[in-house]
Structure 1
Amino acid sequence: MGYEWLALAAAFLWAISSLISVTPARHLGPFSYSRWRMGCTAVMLTIMALIVGGWGSVSTAHVMPMVLSGLIGIFIGDTALFACMNRMGPRQAGLLFSCHAVFSAILGYWLFNETWHLAEIIGATLVFSGVVTAIFFGRKGSDNNDWEALHGKLAIGVALGLLAALCQALGGIIAKPVMQTDINPIAASAIRMITAFAAHSLFWASGAKLAKSKNPINRKIFSITALNGFLAMAVGMTLILYALQDGNVGMVALLSSTTPIMVLPLLWFITKQRPNHYAWFGAILAVIGTGLIVS
């Protein structure tokens, strides 16, 4: 399977996980939810790496870059994303988070001299235009939907979404040189996740009010959180690391930013509110652009 399909598969898993994150993230709060999710995922990835023998591929030189990638991309980035989602809902948060493709493309060109062919540039333009159209204009007519309602100040929500996008881009950039070695992507993902969980645990141990749960965790919330961690992080993020082995950072980020497009039919199914014609027009643009890229 080419890196394009790996990135698209990750985007689909992130679309599913973003919707099932809404209830536990609002129940626990962004910091507490991220801590529980990362703890579950760290255990899963550690066991998976043991099973496939991935830890033997890790050298001392790999550890610090992946630790830094985990701190920036997961500890800061993921927590900021869920804080944004709690304020703006999964679709509007998705618009802001999709900007990580732009950040990644710029950083990839600047740091790694990555270049794109004409068809890829046209496809990339269509994908990003489609994402923006589907999410920004696609929210019209959905004001009565609690998942689209704004909670708190808009400026703070936008800042959190852009911070999450920037951290996601930086996390990928930092991981890219390591992923071009012979390191096992599952073990690399485990290092990132263990680091993020350790950082969350230290923050919680400090007694900070932000780190405390809004409500006590229960069996249902824990089950949803563990499932989300498996889909989005144990599988989805590992697929991204596999994709980074062969694909350039900007292209992988662009294809994985199609998550908001994939959210549309899922939101329609859950909320029973059909996305408007702007949303579907954006989706069509993104599909055509993706076709140009993967062909």
Structure 2
Amino acid sequence: MTLDITGELVGQLAALLAASFWAIATLLYHRAGSHFTPLQMNLVKGVVATPLLLIVSVFLGSSLILSSGLWLLALSGVIGITVGDSCHFAALRRLGPWHAMLLEYLAPPLAAFMAWVFLNDTLSIIEVTGAVITLSGVLWVVSEKAPNKQPALSVSGILFGGAAALCQATGLVMAFSVLMQSNINAIDAAFVRLASGSILLAIIVGFSKRSAYSAIIKQCRSINPFPLLGAIVFGTFLAIWLQQVSIANINPGLTQTLLSTAPLFLIPISLVKKQKITLRSIIGALVSLGGIGILFL
């Protein structure tokens, strides 16, 4: 009897692989973060990843048509990518990969709450319980007292991380409403969101400083570009593609839960690099992951 790889298994593996790619990309972004401001980092990411998504869209057969849904997708990109990802990079710079990624656990319950408010989705007692557990796990970790001679977590970093989660949740709910009401496929939606967010970023960066683009190009030439390129390819391009593969094969709730394992992939990586993650942080991450599982499954 031969064993076939089912669509469900493909979807589950794709989501876990995407989660591992996000963990790796977060470390690489953190490594490159000292050379760029959050806005510059976000812009470089968009300039590299947007053409890659366009190539995939054309290769798979673009479903883009001019409609009112495109404007809502563009707005979701501005909120989730222009603002949200910039806040995430600011949090990453202040908190480090572990705590910055852990604060992203706030996005799923926030998205569920906004879908309940704006899209008339229902929330059961079990789902509310899952959201509360997720929030409790995150708050338990960020409220941990720093060990002796260790700096406390940056308050501004926590605020940036919370703002990133709120913006990402808002953008995702808006994008989801468009996907439910149109025939736009997920890859095309990702392209529109990323392109819109990147165009606004280019305008903001261009007006923020004289010769801003020349400074970014000069900075890119002065550093080893491979960590940053690796982060963009793994975290923004391949992870998004794998996310869509997962959604196409399993239910979105299971996809979201498996994607939320990303911080856990940082644990073995941190051990190899001899970076300490406290037991409280690990327990808090597992509690939050359990809450997300209850929320979506």
Category of TM-score, reference length = shorter chain: 0.7 to 0.9
Contact 1:34-1:79 at 8 Å conserved across structures:
yes
Other structure's SS at 1:97 match: helix
CA distance in structure 2 between the partners assigned to 1:178 and 1:143 by the alignment: 50
Match of 2:183 in 1: 182
Cα contact 1:4–1:294 (8 A) shared by 2: no
Q: Based on CA coordinates, which of the two structures has the bigger radius of gyration? A: 2
User: Distance in 1 between the 2:130 and 2:48 partners?
Assistant: 37
Tell me if structure 2 keeps the 8 A contact 1:94–1:135: no
Task: Give how far 1:288 is off.
Answer: 5.0
Rounded to whole Å, the distance in 1 between the matches of 2:68 and 2:244 is 17
Deviations 1:95-139 (A, max 9, x none): 4333222321210111223235566555555555445545654x8
Correspondence 1:1-295 to 2 at 5 A: 5=12, 9-53=17-61, 55-116=62-123, 124-133=131-140, 137=144, 140-141=146-147, 154-180=154-180, 181-208=182-209, 213=216, 216-218=219-221, 221-240=224-243, 247=252, 256-270=259-273, 272-286=274-288, 288=290
Letter in 1 for 2:268: P
> What whole-Å deviation, never above 9, does each CA across 1:35-65 have from its counterpart, x for those lacking one?
1111100011011111111x23444233111
Give aligned pairs, total: 284
SS in 1 for 2:220: coil
| Cα deviation, residue 209, structure 1 | 6.9
* Aligned 8 A contact 1:104 1:253 in 2: no
1:87 is displaced (CA, Å) by 1.6
Cα distance in 1 for partners of 2:64, 2:294 equals 35
State how far apart, in whole Å, the 1-side matches of 2:54 and 2:35 are. 27
Tell me the TM-score normalised to structure 1 length. 0.78
Between 1:2-11 and 1:34-43, the stretch displaced more is 2-11
Q: Please list the CA deviations of residues 137-179 of structure 1 after superposition, one character each: whole Å capped at 9, or x if unmatched.
A: 4x855966xxx876xxx34323322221111011001101122
Secondary structure of 1:21's partner? helix
Distance 1:173 1:8, change over 3 A: farther
Q: Against the structure 1 CA distance between its residues 143 and 273, is the aligned structure 2 distance closer, same or farther, given a 3 Å change threshold? A: farther
Counterpart CA distance in 1 for 2:143 and 2:207 is 39
Task: Give the TM-score, by structure 2 length.
Answer: 0.78
Is the contact between residue 22 and residue 239 of structure 2 (CA under 8 Å) also seen in structure 1?
yes
Contact 1:30 1:83 in 2 (8 A): yes
Quick one: distance in 2 between partners of 1:156 and 1:287?
A: 24
Output the CA distance in 2 between the equivalents of 1:129 and 1:226.
35
In 2 relative to 1, CA 105–288 (structure 1 residues): closer, same or farther, beyond 3 Å? closer
> In 1, are the aligned partners of 2:109 and 2:295 still within 8 Å (CA)?
no
Shift of 1:237: 3.5
- Structure 2: runs of 5 or more not aligned: 1-6
Q: Following TM superposition, by how much is the alpha carbon of 1:280 offset from its aligned partner in structure 2, in angstroms? A: 3.4
Quickly say closer, same or farther: Cα 1:290–1:95, change in 2 above 3 A: closer
* Deviation of the 1:262 alpha carbon: 3.3
Query: 2:104, 2:164 within 8 Å by CA — same for their partners in 1?
Result: yes
Any idea what SS the aligned residue of 1:179 has? helix
List alignment gaps of at least 5 residues for structure 1.
none
SS in 1 for 2:96: helix
**2:102 touches 2:285 (CA, 8 Å); kept in 1?**
no
Q: CA deviation at 1:231?
A: 1.9
Shift of 1:260: 3.0
Give the 3-state SS of the residue equivalent to 2:277 in structure 1. Answer: coil
Give RMSD over aligned pairs.
3.6
Q: Output the amino acid matched with 1:227.
A: G
